Amino acid sequence: MAQIENESEDAESETSSSSEVNLFGKYELGKLLGYGAFAKVYHARNVRTGLSVAIKAVSRQKVLKGGFVANIKREIAIMHRMHHPHIVKLHEVLATKTKIYFVMEFAKGGELFGKIARGRFSEDLSRRYFQQLISAVGYCHSQGVFHRDLKPENLLLDENWDLKVSDFGLSAVTDQVRPDGLLHTLCGTPAYVAPEILSKKGYDGAKVDIWSCGVILYVLNAGYLPFNDPNLMVMYRRIYKGEFRCPKWTSPDLRRLIMRLLDTNPETRITVDEIVGDPWFSKGYKDVRLRDEDMDGFDLKDDKCVKHLNAFDLISLSSGFDLSGLFSDSDISVRGERFVSGETPERIIERIGEVAETENVMVTKKDWGAKLEGQNGNFMVVIKVHRLTDSLVVVEVRKSRKRESDVGAGQQIWEDKLRPQLVDLVYQPQAPVPGE
């Protein structure tokens, strides 16, 4: 990967609608849509297809300094497995030594928050968006994902004015649940946070998402927050006690649903399944039917199961084969390298076989992998190709030896004879991003 130099800290100076910049020769970055502490979001265009996308540029330095590496890894992993019409789609992740780029579906309609700010919605429109929200949240929970920061600012609208859940930066997965069966990290936006989070005794990720959905439904119908006060501690006290009133125009059925959503007792709070069966909610509701291929993170090709790698690995990549820091094996008899390639897996394995044969190295090919062995058995190289994006793959090279005395011969064969002939397989970005 090419390193980007002279990174600008000024969000407005990086790009503008009148001065587009090019990202890896693949995307033209246009207007700055917004920015926060760690990231800036741009409208962009795929150079080849013309497709509009949103690109979130995350500062690697700020992520490292803030200790949020695990959060970024988790966000990428979560978004990669989210395939639902009401969840923003992650197309791919690109990276340089200074930035991580999330290339995402572009929601032309902007934030739902902007629409609510103009005034409350009708009950029918509130129901429509709440149905789409619950469909997405229910899907997340079925995948073991808890959003933990649901609010109108994180709900986007596409060109058809359909809702799209975004920003999984604070999300949690079931692996984070402690032995007591609960999550314990304090997070969320004050006005939307569930009372059990304030108690600091642990909470169920699904139940706090339902509470946030209740606050959102209240806002859609009322045009203002159920719990709001300039004094944060006063607001928290009202949340903890569940002190709110529905506006007079709220229908009885909607009022009953909101009361169940904003139940301060998580044990009796309504569940997603119960919401779907609620009379107010179910009016005109059509459940989203997902295709089987959307339900997991694997491509099935005959008897192969090709895993899509976590693209966060790209953060550490540099040009060529010297990709230090990606392997941490305690076994000193194993050494590894990785590189990114734009060639097809089949072509890569074919090329590796051609090179190995010219050096009198035995080759065993299998699917998207190959094993290279020295004629006298003094070294072995195992190569596997993993799909990273639709156009890029990661080639993983593992070198091992049977005895310490084998290291010299094995390293010499790989480094001096085989590797130099494969350099043209390495992906080289067409151009770095200017001005960063």
pLDDT band, very low/low/confident/very high, at 63 (cuts 50, 70, 90): confident
Question: Lowest-confidence range among 75-79, 198-202, 345-349, 373-377?
Answer: 373-377
Mind giving me the DSSP string for 51-66? -EEEEEEEEHHHHHHH
Residue written as token pair 């397989």:
425
pLDDT band, very low/low/confident/very high, at 362 (cuts 50, 70, 90): confident
Contact criterion met (CB below 8 Å) for 53 and 102: no
Give dist(CA 311, CA 170) in Å, integer. Answer: 18
Give dist(CA 316, CA 384) in Å, integer. Answer: 19
Give dist(CA 98, CA 159) in Å, integer. Answer: 33
Q: Is 180 a catalytic residue?
A: no
What average pLDDT does this structure show over 281-294? 73
HSE (side-chain half, CA atoms, 13 Å) at 115? 21
- The residues facing 94 across adjacent strands are 101
Check if CATH label 3.30.200.20 holds for domain 11-106: yes
Check if CATH label 2.80.10.50 holds for domain 110-292: no
Mean pLDDT of the chain: 78
CA distances from 53 to 33, 39, 50, 151, 239 (A): 12, 16, 9, 22, 38
Q: In 3-state terms, what secondary structure has residue 231?
A: coil
Give dist(CA 104, CA 114) in Å, integer. Answer: 20
Mind giving me the DSSP string for 274-313? HHHT-HHHHTT--PPPPPGGGSSSEEEETTEEEEPPPGGG
**pLDDT of the residue at 94:** 84
Output the CATH code of domain 298-425: 3.30.310.80
Catalytic residue (choose from 10, 124, 149, 180): 149
List of residues 6+ apart from 29 with CB closer than 8 A: 15, 20, 21, 22, 23, 42, 43, 44, 55, 433
Kindly state the DSSP code that residue 314 receives in the 8-state scheme: G
Contact criterion met (CB below 8 Å) for 318 and 432: no
> What percent of the chain lies above the pLDDT cut of 70?
78
What average pLDDT does this structure show over 250-274? 97
Give dist(CA 346, CA 392) in Å, integer. Answer: 13
What average pLDDT does this structure show over 127-148? 94
Contact criterion met (CB below 8 Å) for 81 and 285: no
pLDDT band, very low/low/confident/very high, at 426 (cuts 50, 70, 90): confident
Give dist(CA 101, CA 13) in Å, integer. Answer: 18
Mind giving me the DSSP string for 108-176? TTEEHHHHHTT-PPPHHHHHHHHHHHHHHHHHHHHTTEE-----GGGEEE-TT--EEE---TT-EEGGG
pLDDT band, very low/low/confident/very high, at 428 (cuts 50, 70, 90): low
Domain boundaries, the chain: 11-106, 110-292, 298-425
Kindly state the DSSP code that residue 389 receives in the 8-state scheme: S
Contact criterion met (CB below 8 Å) for 344 and 359: no
**pLDDT of the residue at 353:** 87
pLDDT band, very low/low/confident/very high, at 389 (cuts 50, 70, 90): low
Asked whether residue 223 carries a pLDDT value surpassing 80, the answer given is yes
**pLDDT of the residue at 293:** 40
